[in-house]
Structure 1
């Protein structure tokens, strides 16, 4: 390829990089800043979540049907998403969730031994509720904001790739310049800003690609499906809740077989962190219990389904079943959220995710300053030439 063709190609890539960067810059800045704040949500909340703990007592937890009755009196006429049974010294959390006509997402914390009310929490409010709304939809109506964020993150993949192409030095003597800050007292701010954009951009690019890719997996069903199939997946990637056996509902009108599930599962999964039971939605659906095997992680959870009448365990064709039965592709997709927030790597992984997201937020800022500086410089030169003539 001739030098002229290379220059023309580089100019086209630069134009694409510039247009996409300026178009999505503000969105990506907000998404990145809110993302790095969200990473340490659990750690920050642990400083003021005393209501989540109770004194351990030498007696059994209340059964799921009793918990359901108590919670429905506190928040009537709302749908219970599930009830979370934790360790002996932890309160029971009853999660209420409805997505229509508008999002209703609240939790009620109860004493697991007596059922005494401890606290009602609006999960969609407060500081982290505000952060999440900004991260997912820029505090705009969901129908508008979520689309703007989703497509901006998708375009961020193109921005990173085009940026790496532009970063690649044309000759060997420029390698050092692209890999480190070589500043002195005479270095002008425009040069420093250029280095901040290119050097920081290079080092954060791999992490930025991971954050953007995992974000797209959550944002687009088609992206999720392609990512799963590309990694060799063959199971149903959807979350499938199998049906129970058909029986006459009146025969069990006064009994709740699922009350037996938590005691049984606690004996079977003695090292589990928590159990989240989901009540059957109707007379035919099965009972779902999510077994959390690690605190702060979601990918290695066991999703267990039981006939709501006989408690017979039912297998699911979905990737969301027992973790030990998951294939490589299943595990990759199930790890997506934990990778996105860095939890997959423990505290070190979260620190990396935090710093990566924060540095990604700096790229739109330095990019706009870079564009403005060049544009202003051209205007200044043009105006100066007019004055001289």
Structure 2
């Protein structure tokens, strides 16, 4: 659409402004948010939908590695399977993770760190011990899809871009709902603004009015779900999410109180020392340097414990002892009520511990357990009830976001929201194309006498404070809007 419209178009813009002061201001911000967000929304929608169906897709992609024929004979011990997997790898390969799954139709999986820095999964028939094949962990289809979803395969820059896209989606949702909200001046207009018209597309329209109707209706139906998607995904982002997790951990609103420090000292008993079964006795692990849970080679770690430091076995290297076996760890977890579907990060040093991460679809069953590699003593057993209030909410949000909480129905709902967001992006592009201006970006015109819109400005300021990275881009958009796209123009709002 050209920069200047005939008188009829001008009257349309004036009418819209008259019935809804601030309409064009909101439209302008909606345009800027959509301009940035739309390509990312399409990527997020496709990759998110695929990842949502990981349990169904992966066995189809790798049937000869992941799927086995159930047999009457018992499964081989975990230590025997690990030894066979180790024998199939180079001598300098180090086992770092074991996946424990009692599903009779699934293979056994162990992950090794190779000398070249890569990680490789080894799959075995749990009945015969035969090696079924290997997969590079980072090249696995679902891992590539996950990294596309989180960081566009661009590392930290991609992670920041995706975080910004999520933040600006909040602006797009807020302005979209405000633009949709029926405000009519005349009785005739009020009659047309029925609930049906607001929630159902005008299928009889053609051209841009049809696409605008479709875009508006899709957006309003998806508003709540899209908002839930964004809010539940932001805690997992690499910049803001990481800082928010660390803050929640420090104030005991995220990680369990005392993990680590703050009243619950832990001890990993040296082998030659008398075993103390008191959970609260011994060395204060909060003073021990080491990795946090997010650093471990685990596929999924509950958000609540991601920033928690992993305990060590102090002075264990000076004592001669036999390591607690993998089968004993499995038995210990079975006694705790966790029999299948969890991962064990294996001790990589003489002072390491067995770290068990159980990340089921029901957040209330999440478990993180640390087991001394020599004595087999449980150093800490973290459950959902131990989480802070923030982490308990985020745990539910994560399960719903990933389509895991209530099975196939959850997956279908997530798919509908994801594909609906992609449809919003596509219809937005079509609307822009139909009114495309010549040699300009096509931003809606600025109102000559815009109302104060204090609530809108306060909302932007709040977002800028909560999400500092987004705050910097808001300032950048304001500057660009004034310096480059600042010439007032009159555009039709139809």
TM-score range, shorter chain: 0.7 to 0.9
Aligned to 2:148: 134
Aligned to 1:81: 96
Aligned to 2:24: 11
Asked whether the equivalents of residues 86 and 273 of structure 1 are also in contact (C-alpha less than 8 Å), the reply is: yes
RMSD in angstroms over aligned alpha carbons?
Answer: 3.4
- TM-superposed CA distance for 1:348, in Å, is 0.5
Aligned partner of residue 356 in structure 2, secondary structure: strand
Normalising by structure 1, we get a TM-score of 0.80
Instruction: Using the TM superposition, name which of 145-154 and 50-59 deviates more.
Output: 50-59
Q: Which of residues 389, 408, 412 in structure 2 aligns to 1:351?
A: 412
How far apart in 2 are the matches of 1:26 and 1:335? Answer: 28
- Paired residues for 1:164-175 under 5 Å: 164-171=177-184, 172-173=190-191, 174-175=193-194
Change (3 A) 1:229 1:211: farther
- Paired residues for 1:1-389 under 5 Å: 7=20, 9-47=22-60, 49=63, 51-52=65-66, 53-56=68-71, 58-59=73-74, 61-64=76-79, 66-76=80-90, 77-87=92-102, 89=104, 90-96=106-112, 104-125=118-139, 127-139=141-153, 141-171=154-184, 172-173=190-191, 174-176=193-195, 177-184=197-204, 187-219=205-237, 220-224=241-245, 233=254, 235=256, 237=304, 238-252=307-321, 254-269=322-337, 272-291=339-358, 294=360, 300-315=365-380, 321-376=382-437
CA displacement, residues 225-273 of structure 1 (integer Å, 9 cap, x when unaligned): 5788999547364243223353344411x5445542212333442x733
How far apart in 2 are the matches of 1:272 and 1:6? Answer: 63
Asked whether the equivalents of residues 245 and 307 of structure 1 are also in contact (C-alpha less than 8 Å), the reply is: no
* Structure 2: stretches of 5+ with no match in the other structure: 1-15, 185-189, 260-303, 441-494
Instruction: Using the TM superposition, name which of 195-204 and 278-287 deviates more.
Output: 278-287
* Structure 1: stretches of 5+ with no match in the other structure: 380-389
Change (3 A) 1:101 1:333: farther
How far apart in 2 are the matches of 1:247 and 1:129? Answer: 35
- TM-superposed CA distance for 1:283, in Å, is 2.2
Asked whether the equivalents of residues 17 and 162 of structure 1 are also in contact (C-alpha less than 8 Å), the reply is: yes
Change (3 A) 1:196 1:377: farther
How far apart in 1 are the matches of 2:141 and 2:374? Answer: 42
- TM-superposed CA distance for 1:148, in Å, is 1.6
The number of residue pairs the alignment matches comes to 363
Aligned partner of residue 97 in structure 2, secondary structure: strand
Asked whether the equivalents of residues 228 and 333 of structure 1 are also in contact (C-alpha less than 8 Å), the reply is: no
- TM-superposed CA distance for 1:204, in Å, is 0.7
Change (3 A) 1:168 1:81: farther
Normalising by structure 2, we get a TM-score of 0.64
Aligned partner of residue 265 in structure 1, secondary structure: helix
Structure (1 or 2) with the greater helix fraction: 1
